[in-house]
Structure 1
Amino acid sequence: MTATAARILTAARARGLRIATAESCTGGMLSAALTDLPGSSDVYDRGYITYSNAAKIDMLGVSPETLATYGAVSEGVAVEMAAGALHHSGAGIALSITGIAGPGGSDHKPEGRVCFGLAMRGHATRTETVEFGPLGRENIRQAATSHALALIAAALS
């Protein structure tokens, strides 16, 4: 993950972009991966850890209607989390993560389902859902963090 984070920071510097993150199931792991590197403060703007629905609403402006209709683990919420992080920060790119790290889940929303949102100023917000499967809580969180880093790196390349 360190090599990907380093590439992200270099690419963001080159493009004059700052980065914001909005995390739920990873609880700050993406923020930590980006700030583990010295000098990241010139690129990393801020991170929101919005574990509860109330935090998603209060800090990022996620719509209560979206939460009620689709649930916290949905591309609809991932879009609004990423857009909210972009809007409330000085960043030019924001990545959101919301998912079910487990244990548990349901037939409708199984353990290992993680939704991502990527917002960049001047571009439409993109989403995707990855089914990591029941890998166990720590492995799902690590996989989601790695995937998020790959999404940011691809967007900046």
Structure 2
Amino acid sequence: MDPYLLSRAVSELGELLRVNSAMLVTAESCTGGLLASTLTDTPGSSDWFAGSVVAYSNSVKQNVLGVPESVLEQHGAVSEACVLAMADGVIRTLGADYSVAISGVAGPSGGSPDKPVGTVWMAWAWPGGSRARLYNFQGSRDQVKHQSVVAAINGLLGAVR
């Protein structure tokens, strides 16, 4: 996405959250904080963005976000079950109304036949609901991370609208 359009999307998201007196938190694995950085590039984001947990390791997913060990053992970190638990866990941990969680394989290594490079799971949680979605992005590590950020913001816009 064009940087200008991304900035406009974040501004729209922030305004929707602000109007609703709602707060947002993020739980990021493969994006390593890029989403939180993108959100906080917007002036006034402290009105609607509370914080982020960069849960790169499984131990942080478990110990900070409360992802059950059984989820990681049975499904892995790059799974629907994991990101749904991350999205709920970050709301519980940081206290907010909305969240997004991202876990994937950004590459260039680390992929497998079941989860090739570019496989990214995301989950969004909001008062009374949540949903997850699987993405298969193409390109370099940076491209996968940036595509993930754009998808996360678009998903948040859908949840907040």
TM-score range, shorter chain: over 0.9
Aligned to 1:144: 148
Residue identity matched to 1:153: L
| Identity across matched positions, percent | 35
1:30-70 Cα distance to aligned partner (Å, 9 max, x none): 10111111111011011000000001001100011000000
Structure 1 residue runs without a partner (length 5+)? none
RMSD, aligned α-carbons: 0.8
Task: Tell me, in whole angstroms, the C-alpha distance in 2 between the residues paired with 1:86 and 1:136.
Answer: 31
Aligned to 2:123: 117
Aligned pair 1:65/2:70, yes or no? Answer: yes
Task: Tell me, in whole angstroms, the C-alpha distance in 2 between the residues paired with 1:32 and 1:67.
Answer: 27
The alpha-carbon deviation at position 136 of structure 1 amounts to 1.1
Deviation beyond 6 Å, 4+ runs, structure 1 = none
Task: Tell me, in whole angstroms, the C-alpha distance in 2 between the residues paired with 1:96 and 1:4.
Answer: 18
The alpha-carbon deviation at position 156 of structure 1 amounts to 1.1
Q: How many residues are matched?
A: 155
What is the aligned counterpart of 1:98 among 103, 111, 116? 103
Structure 2 residue runs without a partner (length 5+)? 1-5
Secondary structure in 1 matching 2:94: coil
The alpha-carbon deviation at position 90 of structure 1 amounts to 2.3
Task: Tell me, in whole angstroms, the C-alpha distance in 2 between the residues paired with 1:87 and 1:117.
Answer: 15
1:3-27 Cα distance to aligned partner (Å, 9 max, x none): 1110110000111110000000000
